[in-house]
Structure 1
Amino acid sequence: METALHNKAMVKLGMMFFTHHQEHQETIYHTLRCAKMIKGFGSYLGYDELDISLLEKGALLHDIGKFEVCGETLYASRKLTNTEFALIKKHPIMGHIEGFEPEALAMKEQHHEYLDGSGYPLGLKGAEIHPFAQMLTIVDVYDALKYARSYKKSWNNAEIFEEMMRYRGTRFNPIYLDAFFKYLFEASFIEEPFDFSYKKAN
């Protein structure tokens, strides 16, 4: 019964991607890249197949709430109104598909939460945030900075490293963050290793 429910959930997720592909290409491509990257990151950390599957599903789910926001707002190159921005900040708790594991749902709902409590939508802190969600937060931000969007240009890896290291230990779990940048080098996403020696403030 559980397997049937899960299979139905995966089919529904695929149909959502198909239905919204035209309006939400940017979000869907971002989602697919995040799912692929977090699978590799989980494997790099030595997780078993079950956990890697959960990581992938959580990444695939994480932005489905954005399908409930019109593309004109979501991909606007102009400055958003306070109302529009408040709506977008609710996307982690918007959209729901029954049949996914609690870990995957936690990743969806918590991927914009930060260790210091400054994230959204619930302002969770520290251990209140699921470890898989802490990993996804890092992957999500990296991909968002790496690729051009309607409102921003792409950043190079040095710029991304500099920016994300600013929030090491405040927004991002330092253990996962350091491991992630090492993974990028060892998986050949970057050509030279990052210099951690002067970046670690925590």
Structure 2
Amino acid sequence: MNAFKKLVFAGLVAAVGFSTGAHASLIGDTITATGTSLDKASAVISTGSIPEFTAVNGLLNFNFDLSTLTITAPGVPNSNYTFANLGKYVFSGFDDVITGLSLGSNSPKFEGSVVDNFSFTAHSITIDFSAAKAQNSNASLVLNIATAGAPAQGSDVPEPGSVAIIGLGLLGLAASRRKFAKRDAT
């Protein structure tokens, strides 16, 4: 195999490597939680619809995923149910540095403090339920979590495949220059 073919082969291997780069996520993190009537104090974040934490005898579920926290109220007894003075729920111990927390969706609706009174530090998330209300028993609030290793869902970030395309373009330029150099040498 001549040097040019080796160069092309190495470029293709590198392009495939770049296009399948690793993505950081919350999956696998062991986090702790504090707050009113939580079912447990710690959990390992996993994929799926089973919440990591439930509170107030199943009236609230906290389900973490790749880069989101979904809060649901599957068991509220009636519409406009008020979670009177539940206070703050704090989730801490995330492996990656949290760089952002934003409202993703709220449908059917939660109202009150939980919608606009949440915060984060480098390794924790705090959600205030002191004046929260659920509109019905299917209320669902999604918070997008950005970490230093991965952006929150919905963020505009170039695909890793873009690096592969640029690399292949550069290899094509190198090949054409080599071809013209050989032609000019003869």
TM-score, normalisation: structure 2: 0.28
Structure with max Cα Rg: 2
Higher helix share: 1
The answer to which structure, 1 or 2, has the higher relative contact order (CA under 8 A, 6+ apart) is 2
